[in-house]
Amino acid sequence: MTRQFVVVGHDAPTDAEFSLDDLPGAGRLDVLCRCVTAAFLLSHDIREDVRVTLVLADEYALTFEGGSLRRLNPDEHSTAALIRTALAKRTEAVGHMSVETSPGIAIDRRDFEQVLADVADDGTLIHLDADGQPAVEIDPPAKPVFLLSDHRDFTESERQTIDAVADERVSLGPRPLHGDQAITVAHNWLDTDGFLRW
């Protein structure tokens, strides 16, 4: 596992009672769907060396593993259907047990703090932040774990949690990007050895 993304969905649904035809109305699930597809999909290919963890309303963690992920399509609607399937099986996730709800997707009961504690030793924790150090000034780490928020900023409490564990605070450009755009640029940064060569 060489690239990880942890995305916090503050208003994300915690049950399956939402319509796939109104994803913005479902706690801005559209934002999270785009983050997932940006993290995994290439043109006619999938990035197998990626793990994405979505933190849903600080209650559930949804983990996507590139190596075993199946049926992930680029459109928001079908990605949201995979998430809804996972949420429909959420009651099977008891205690620390994780439940695989479709190939490569698992749900468990964890909040943001627990997720951060779990990834803390996986590699270099990078808080993606508009005010961070420009990525062009840094050599990309071998095993980055990027921390992102959804359409809302991290809360003060989340920032304190992040500051306690993050290794770096990095900016990917001078304009404020959406989460999925930041993921796309972060991949490009890594793919090009720090925007240098390929």
Give dist(CA 59, CA 10) in Å, integer.
Answer: 10
The stretch among 26-34, 52-60, 93-101, 156-164 that binds its own copies (CB under 8 A) is: 26-34
Q: Kindly state whether residue 174 participates in binding its own copies, applying the rule CB under 8 A.
A: yes
Binding mask 126-145 for its own copies (x = CB under 8 A): --------x-x---------
How far does CA 157 lie from the centroid of its chain? Answer: 19
Q: Please report whether residue 70 would count as binding its own copies according to CB under 8 A.
A: no
Give whole-number Cα distances, 142 to 2, 69, 184, 193, 197, in Å: 7, 22, 17, 10, 16
Euclidean distance between CA atoms 18 and 22, whole angstroms: 8
Alpha helices by DSSP H, listed for 120-178, are: 156-165
Residues 84-113 that bind its own copies (CB under 8 A): none
Q: What is the three-class DSSP state of 10?
A: coil
Q: Which span (70-78, 81-89, 92-100, 156-164) binds its own copies, by CB under 8 A? A: 70-78
Q: Interface residues with its own copies (CB under 8 A)?
A: 20-24, 30-31, 34, 38, 41-45, 47, 73-78, 134, 136, 151, 172-178, 181, 184-185, 187-188, 191-192, 195-198
